[in-house]
Amino acid sequence: MLRGNVGRIAAAGHCDVVPATPEAVLKAALLIRNGGLVAFPTETVYGLGSHASDDEAVLSLFAAKGRPYWNPLIVHVDSIVSATALVDLEERSLVLARENWPGPLTIVARRRSGCSVSRLATAGLETLAVRVPDHPVALALLTTLGSPIVAPSANLSGLTSPTTAAHVADSLSKVVDLILDGGSCRVGLESTVIDLSGPHAILLRPGGVTTEKIEKLIGPLALAGSRTESAYRSPGMLTRHYAPGRPLRLNAHDVRPGEVLLGFGRVPGATLNLSQQADVEEAAANLFHMLRALDRPDVTAIAVSPVPSLGLGGAINDRLRRAAADNAESVGYSSTRLVPRL
Ligand code: AMP
Ligand code: MG
């Protein structure tokens, strides 16, 4: 791949946060074309993007986030047709893609022979995770570049995901080349990840598309059974993640000394409230932003009111459980519904 003198500008400490105008999107595409790293808005959270086929850029992306190399990246494309150049999308995948793309659904499918995506980006797996983001800036960037972009969330690995350009700048301004500012992310939670590379459709991560909606389209989802199997199927799923600097206490009905309460619904004493109306979509959009706002030195712990596991509530509780987990603890997704376990 050709490299110009753009690329690692940020290594010298100059990272611009710019409104995502068409000129800025073109600049961003050129930076990526030349091996650079660009943070950009999607409907889920801000992504940190590099060219999907550029080994060196992919390595610098892992390094910038401090992300373990064994945790594969999601490949972003501009259309179903572009996705089919990379992976085999069988019937169930096409049904899901037609109904949900662009949108917060990631499909894991078998990699096609001749697929150009860097093996480093996919941790050497024979499968690849792909999605079409539902954000005009992300789509403009993809079509301007004319190639897939690999993009994990634009935050240091394991910490709270960014839903504004300012969040990205807080932790990554020294290591990215450009941050495109497209305002707050509409959904506020990462994509749902479904593995369709084998005979069973497996929920690897609950997210922006509800499991109810997916099951209406393709029937019941299975869960990866054991921790070992989950780790094998989706290496990034088990560790502590999304975590603020203070401990979280979940399902809290009171506020203890030194704590602040992150409320849900009409609860008294909340410092911030995910949704006064008890609306899980509003709560999802507020979750990471509010966790960051309460992550203050004067706070001993963040207590969080119970959130029902309905609709996006399932994904919210998944993120809260992982954020609350001890470092050493592994967290598998567990559903409140009865689902077949593999
Ligand atoms: P993130 O980039 O943090 O949004 O996380 C993406 C998630 O997708 C990680 O947990 C990865 O483990 C998972 N993932 C990416 N590629 C694959 C794949 N080929 N097979 C299974 N899981 C994947
Ligand atoms: Mg992430």
Q: Which phi and psi angles does 203 have, rounded to 5°?
A: -80, 115
CA 153 – ligand 2 centroid, Å: 4
Question: Could you say which of 230, 256, 291 is where a domain stops?
Answer: 230
Using CA atoms, how far residue 214 sits from 225, 274, 275, 281, in Å, is 19, 25, 25, 17
pLDDT higher than 50, residue 270: yes
Please indicate, yes or no, if residue 316 is contained in any of the structural domains: yes
CA 201 – ligand 2 centroid, Å: 22
Q: Are residues 222 and 296 in the same domain?
A: no
Please indicate, yes or no, if residue 337 is contained in any of the structural domains: no
Q: What pLDDT score was predicted for residue 15?
A: 76
Q: Are residues 73 and 181 in the same domain?
A: yes
Q: What pLDDT score was predicted for residue 16?
A: 85
Q: What pLDDT score was predicted for residue 233?
A: 64
Q: What pLDDT score was predicted for residue 12?
A: 47
Ligand 1 pocket, mutate which of 50, 58, 73, 227 (most atoms under 8 A from CB): 73
User: What is the band of 230 on the pLDDT scale with cuts at 50, 70, 90?
Assistant: low
> Could you identify the residue written with the tokens 């110009």?
4
Q: Are residues 195 and 254 in the same domain?
A: no
Q: Are residues 57 and 125 in the same domain?
A: yes
- Average pLDDT over every residue of 86-93: 97
Residue nearest to atom 17 of ligand 1 (CA): 129
pLDDT higher than 60, residue 334: no
Please indicate, yes or no, if residue 336 is contained in any of the structural domains: no
Domain range for 20: 9-230
Q: Return d(Cα 333, Cα 123) in angstroms, integer.
A: 22
Tens-place pLDDT, residues 139-167: 999 999 999 999 999 999 988 999 999 99
Please indicate, yes or no, if residue 341 is contained in any of the structural domains: no
Please indicate, yes or no, if residue 150 is contained in any of the structural domains: yes
**Portion of the chain with pLDDT greater than 90, in percent:** 79
Q: Which of 9-18, 145-154, 193-202, 230-239 has the lowest mean pLDDT?
A: 230-239
116 or 14, which is more confident: 116
Q: What pLDDT score was predicted for residue 237?
A: 63
CA 242 – ligand 2 centroid, Å: 7
Tens-place pLDDT, residues 91-110: 999 999 999 999 999 999 99
Q: Are residues 225 and 83 in the same domain?
A: yes
Please indicate, yes or no, if residue 236 is contained in any of the structural domains: no
Non-local (6+) Cβ contacts of 19 within 8 A are 180, 181
Number of domains in the chain: 2
Residue nearest to atom 20 of ligand 1 (CA): 234
Ligand 1 pocket, mutate which of 204, 209, 288 (most atoms under 8 A from CB): 204
The residues pairing with 74 across neighbouring beta strands, listed in sequence order, are 129
Q: Are residues 33 and 164 in the same domain?
A: yes
Q: 67: domain CATH number?
A: 3.90.870.10
Q: 282: domain CATH number?
A: 3.40.50.11030
